[in-house]
Amino acid sequence: MLTLVASSSGSSNSCRLAEIGINRVAAPFSTASFATATGFGIITKYRTIKIVLPDYVVSVLKAPTTAVPGQIIDVNDTTKNQGGGSIASTTTRFYLSTDTKFSADDIPLQGRVVRPLGFGESSPGSTSVTISSDTPPKKYYLIAVADNGKAVDEGSKETNNTKYRAITIKPLL
């Protein structure tokens, strides 16, 4: 939460917001509003607003359920920002994992650049992903990671950035 001091004129609040570098809030700042008199007899109005950080997620992930080593597959995802607006481009990257959890030992594959997303905006995209020819055939999970590399500060919302689909890598005949 951030407390701003603005003048008693409602129309000037946006000017004060701009002065401290805030040009976008996700909701009207109506949480609390009251006036108080200072010792100099000047009326000052306080308003408390909640600054909403971006929250990136992968809302849609579509990929083949089988592939062979060396194959190039089309992976379709939709990356969504379900939080406050972002001014940074991000990368949604794909990984091959032996479990459903994104971890440091997962195999990095291709990714795609996602333009800056405003409040509630989505970016659908298709990525050509190469399954390395030395991938041992077995069952894997293809994990998509939104904002891979953490270009955007999401506060406590960094833990919901992945989505997975099972994919079986079959031996070459």
Please report whether residue 157 would count as binding Ca ion according to CB under 5 A. yes
Instruction: Give the integer Cα–Cα distance in Å for 119 and 82.
Output: 6
- β-pair partners for 6: 45
Instruction: Considering only residues 69 through 128, tell me which ones interact with Ca ion, judged by CB under 5 A.
Output: 97, 99, 101, 103, 106
For the beta carbon of residue 160, count every other beta carbon within 10 angstroms. 14
Examine residue 165 and tell whether it contacts Ca ion (CB under 5 A). Answer: no
Rounded CA gap, 56 and 154, in Å? 8
Instruction: Find the binder of Ca ion among 127, 148, 161, 162 (CB under 5 A).
Output: 161
Min dist CB 29 to Ca ion, Å, is: 24
Mind giving me the DSSP string for 125-138?
Answer: EEEEEE--TTPPSE
Q: Which two tokens stand for residue 161?
A: 């950035």
Q: Which is nearer to Ca ion, 29 or 56 (CB)?
A: 56
Report, in Å, the least distance between residue 55 CB and Ca ion: 4
What's the min distance (Å) between Cβ of 86 and Ca ion? Answer: 11
DSSP secondary structure code for residue 11 in this structure: G
Residue 65 is which amino acid?
Answer: T
Closer residue to Ca ion (CB): 29 or 94: 94
Nearer to Ca ion, 55 or 77 (CB): 55
List contacts with Ca ion (CB under 5 A).
55-56, 97, 99, 101, 103, 106, 154, 157, 160-161
